[in-house]
Structure 1
Amino acid sequence: MRSLILDGGLATHLEALGADLSDELWSARLLLEDPALIRRVHADYFAAGAGVATTASYQASLPGFAARGLSAAEAERLMRSSVRLAAEARDEHGAGLVAASVGPYGAYLANGAEYTGAYDLDEDGLLEWHRPRWEILATSGADLLAIETIPSVAEGRALARLLRETPDVEAWVAYSCRDEGHLNDGTPIEEAAAVFADIPHVMAVGVNCTAPRHIPGLVERLRGGKPVVVYPNSGETWDAADRRWLGLADPVEYGEAAASWPAELIGGCCRTTPEHIRQIREHLAD
């Protein structure tokens, strides 16, 4: 099976190149302060073998930018620029796709809620929170939307409702999971995947921002439905209290593991680098 190789951790590589992301906007901060560095990160991932650039819009939102004193028009311009920067890197590389990142409500909260699904909004509230950014990114010129790191089935249902409203927008959906069978909110992965089963323009359903050791079990539970997308983290764990990563991960071991995942789209999430993607490419080619 030939898999489409995705990119790796955008923020991880930005930090490796010297960016300071220690605020609530995270990588979206660079859309305002250093867009050229974002374009370089996309270029580095394409050079490493990625076929997709995932934009720096994961943490971006109208209320998040408003808290920085930006108008709605300025926030929209920055979100659209995330797609433009990825497209410029893609065009320079000569091939590839641009996936506009639609991160979870928990990323805006910046309190670790994307790792638990413990939200203060219900499904209807989540729908209305996502809608303004959705309308921007769905008309941004991206090849598809990357709906990612979704920790709860309620948020999945809200985003499915938006997808049904925009049948001309292709997307993949990736949940974040706490073990080999359940979302971070405890919902069985099979139940969560079924939310998107009848939406034809969802190209793949799977998981991201999840420990690599859980991927084989999760993929097994997802097989038989839509194509599967997986891009776990490096295996390190995030200490939300101290805002730091714990543990180490080896790119070669990551690439070896990725070669065993029977998924149609494979990449990396937090703490993965261009070297992780290069190792995925090399091991999938063996």
Structure 2
Amino acid sequence: MAKENLKQYLQDHLLIGDGAMATWLYRLGVPIGVCYEELTLSNPELIGSVHRSYYDAGARFIQTNTYGAHRDSLARHGLGHKVTRINRKAAQLARESVGEDAYIAGGIGSINGGRVRDTNIQPYAEQFEEQTEALLLGGVDAILLETFLDLDELLLALNVIRPMTDLPIIAQLATIEVGRTRDGFTLSQAFAEMKKAGADIVGLNCRLGPAEALRSIEQTIIPDDTPFSVFPNAGRLAISDGEYSYASVPQYFGDSALRFRTQGARLIGGCCGTTPEHIRMMAQVLAEREPLPRVNPVREAEEAFVPIEIGSPSVRPPSIVDTVKERHTIIVELDPPRDLDTERFLAGTAALQDAGADAVTLADNSLATTRMSNLALGAMMKSKLGAEPLLHIACRDRNLIGQQSHLMGMHALGIHQALVITGDPARFGDLPGASSVFDVSSFDLIRMIKQLNEGFTFSGKPLKQRANFVVGAAFNPHVRQFDAALRRLEKKIEAGADYIMTQPVYDVEMIERIHEGAKHLDVPIFIGIMPLTGSRNAEFLHNEVPGIRLSDEARERMRKFESGPEARAEGVAIARELTDAAMAYFNGIYLITPFFYYEMTAELTRYIRQKSSVVL
């Protein structure tokens, strides 16, 4: 006798889902880093035994081992060409491993969920289609979309898959905070849209444990005549002596299953950290019990599907982007100290301010060498001298938690100007054993800072006040493929860059080339100029520092002076000539102080002010 359609079955029955695959495989001895989905091919006995263990525990809803079996994820293991084979085999293996009374759900995980939110999700459509086709070929009873942090990606998947099959589609969100998606929608809003897009069953899985999942459900309006599912984690993840574990014991899961039933849930299972024993306990406590009707919370009116309101913008003083439209604007870089003495740095800042610098920019551990926090020094500059700081923010040193915290601190201190850079690899710095984080690229970080300006945290949570950062991007013109570098620069501007600062330029032809290549761009460009301090310095920069090339003329002139005051005077003279050329094409000048000789950049700053006849 054929099984009843899953959606119809859930109208009158509770259904027990299975538990975790990846974390259970980890507990069985499969190390982290292995492609768990590929084990369907290389070790089908192991995957089949996991399915059977959950079936024997009482689960009658079995998910295929295909959560990350889309092309993007498999490609990271060199398996992008095996999407169809893995998905089809996984569906067949799940079917063969359990009894005929079990529903087999083809699992499709979020592509965006394990990474920084990408707003350009349209390319994912083809991957969802490819994976679905293979699962349908394998003979699944339903499609399960799970662990989607963002509503927009889940709706994309539904819009792709719904026309492909009449089988039930279960669509499950994973929320970082109780009751709201990463892209800012309440669960009530999200579930309503998921149903409109063709979801037969809506629900939650992963991220939250039973208590927080229950809180989410209690405050959410479930669409009428729509079964809902819940697959919580076994509490919060813990790490002890390098081992991963979860806190919730099976008995607690059994008690939670009763509470989910009271809320009207029809499909109840487990996610990360759950085991066959967790599922067994839920099956036992729910045995012979009938489902209960869903009673939605009382609201004045069901919330409309509109983005959440965000806080009002804060007031930002004029920035370099404002002044550069009217006159030549000067940014001067001054490196933070490598020790604990701040007096010399503040003296240099004061000298540059007196010379007429519009902003003093501070590198973020340049060349991966440890220096004092530029945030601390920026705050001191602002409070003690009234100078305007512009902070570099490297992708290298802070994970996303640290980056957002750092930016929130900048906002609190009234520091609103930033330059986003990738950062030199840590292994080349003074602590070569340090890790290079690189959670995101410079493109991603620019977008995420602009997200703070829109009133949302990196995770999508609304802020009570919008940030007001002015974000710059770096440009290296000293590359073989200059046109490719320009296209990369255009992408940074598309990501939200408000201005551009170039690497040091040492010949007039390059300045002209930058102007010609970038004249179509609608953001200001600050041409980098760093005076040379001697012949050794010139040869070092030309031959050893990535991204810097000197003209033959500049190198020849500096060969006359190894070091000392005369060498620095010649370096300033060359920089003046470059500045003259730059000022003919650009209003933005970016002076880089070499070896803390701030007298050199202060002299150049005064020269620019005199030449441009600007009254300070």
- TM > 0.5 between the two? yes
User: Which residue identity is paired with 1:95?
Assistant: D
Deviations 1:225-275, CA, capped at 9 Å, x for gaps: 311110010012377xx9964652211011101111130100000000000
Whether the aligned pair in 2 keeps the contact of 1:104 and 1:148 (CA below 8 Å) is yes
Deviations 1:30-70, CA, capped at 9 Å, x for gaps: 12331110000000000000001101100112343344444
User: Which residue identity is paired with 1:198?
Assistant: K
Q: Does 1:282 align with 2:284?
A: yes
Q: Does 1:32 align with 2:41?
A: yes
Structure 1 segment 2-17 matched on structure 2, within 5 A:
2-17=13-28
Greater relative contact order structure (CA < 8 Å, 6+ sep): 1
Whether the aligned pair in 2 keeps the contact of 1:122 and 1:154 (CA below 8 Å) is no
Q: Which of the residues 24, 29, 38 maps onto 1:18?
A: 29
Q: Which of the residues 18, 30, 47 maps onto 2:56?
A: 47
Whether the aligned pair in 1 keeps the contact of 2:53 and 2:276 (CA below 8 Å) is yes
The 1:238–1:191 alpha-carbon spacing in structure 2 relative to 1, beyond 3 Å, is farther
Other structure's SS at 1:260 match: helix
Structure 1 segment 65-104 matched on structure 2, within 5 A:
65-70=74-79, 72=81, 74-90=82-98, 93-104=99-110
Structure 1 segment 96-135 matched on structure 2, within 5 A:
96-106=102-112, 112-113=114-115, 118-135=116-133
Structure 1 segment 127-166 matched on structure 2, within 5 A:
127-166=125-164
Q: Which moved more, 1:5-14 or 1:130-139?
A: 130-139
Partner of 1:198: 196
Partner of 1:235: 235
Other structure's SS at 1:191 match: helix
The 1:237–1:13 alpha-carbon spacing in structure 2 relative to 1, beyond 3 Å, is closer
Q: Does 1:256 align with 2:255?
A: yes
User: Which residue identity is paired with 1:158?
Assistant: L
Q: Which moved more, 1:272-281 or 1:59-68?
A: 59-68
Query: What CA distance in whole angstroms lies between the structure 1 residues aligned with 2:48 and 2:256?
Result: 29
The 1:158–1:87 alpha-carbon spacing in structure 2 relative to 1, beyond 3 Å, is same
- TM-score normalized with structure 2 length: 0.41
Shift of 1:79: 1.4
Query: What CA distance in whole angstroms lies between the structure 1 residues aligned with 2:197 and 2:154?
Result: 13
User: Which residue identity is paired with 1:40?
Assistant: S
Query: For the aligned residues, what is the CA RMSD?
Result: 2.4
Shift of 1:84: 0.9
Other structure's SS at 1:195 match: helix
Q: Which moved more, 1:74-83 or 1:145-154?
A: 74-83
The 1:167–1:132 alpha-carbon spacing in structure 2 relative to 1, beyond 3 Å, is closer
The 1:246–1:187 alpha-carbon spacing in structure 2 relative to 1, beyond 3 Å, is farther
Alignment coverage as a number of residue pairs: 270
Shift of 1:280: 0.5
Shift of 1:128: 3.2
Partner of 1:273: 275
Query: What CA distance in whole angstroms lies between the structure 1 residues aligned with 2:91 and 2:204?
Result: 23
Deviations 1:76-130, CA, capped at 9 Å, x for gaps: 112111111100012xx342110010001036xxxx43xxxx3224242332342
The 1:219–1:76 alpha-carbon spacing in structure 2 relative to 1, beyond 3 Å, is same
Larger Rg: 2
The 1:121–1:133 alpha-carbon spacing in structure 2 relative to 1, beyond 3 Å, is farther
Query: What CA distance in whole angstroms lies between the structure 2 residues aligned with 1:175 and 1:63?
Result: 20
Other structure's SS at 1:149 match: strand
The 1:127–1:24 alpha-carbon spacing in structure 2 relative to 1, beyond 3 Å, is farther
Other structure's SS at 1:100 match: strand
Whether the aligned pair in 2 keeps the contact of 1:230 and 1:265 (CA below 8 Å) is yes
Whether the aligned pair in 2 keeps the contact of 1:180 and 1:216 (CA below 8 Å) is no
- TM-score normalized with structure 1 length: 0.85
Query: What CA distance in whole angstroms lies between the structure 1 residues aligned with 2:253 and 2:209?
Result: 11
Query: What CA distance in whole angstroms lies between the structure 2 residues aligned with 1:33 and 1:139?
Result: 20
Shift of 1:162: 1.1
Query: What CA distance in whole angstroms lies between the structure 1 residues aligned with 2:158 and 2:243?
Result: 33
User: Which residue identity is paired with 2:201?
Assistant: A
Query: What CA distance in whole angstroms lies between the structure 2 residues aligned with 1:277 and 1:144?
Result: 20
The 1:101–1:244 alpha-carbon spacing in structure 2 relative to 1, beyond 3 Å, is farther
Whether the aligned pair in 1 keeps the contact of 2:38 and 2:86 (CA below 8 Å) is no
The 1:121–1:139 alpha-carbon spacing in structure 2 relative to 1, beyond 3 Å, is farther
Shift of 1:5: 0.4
Query: What CA distance in whole angstroms lies between the structure 1 residues aligned with 2:139 and 2:242?
Result: 34
Whether the aligned pair in 2 keeps the contact of 1:156 and 1:192 (CA below 8 Å) is no
Whether the aligned pair in 2 keeps the contact of 1:52 and 1:97 (CA below 8 Å) is yes
Structure 1 segment 186-225 matched on structure 2, within 5 A:
186-199=184-197, 202-209=199-206, 210-220=208-218, 221-225=220-224
User: Which residue identity is paired with 2:128?
Assistant: H
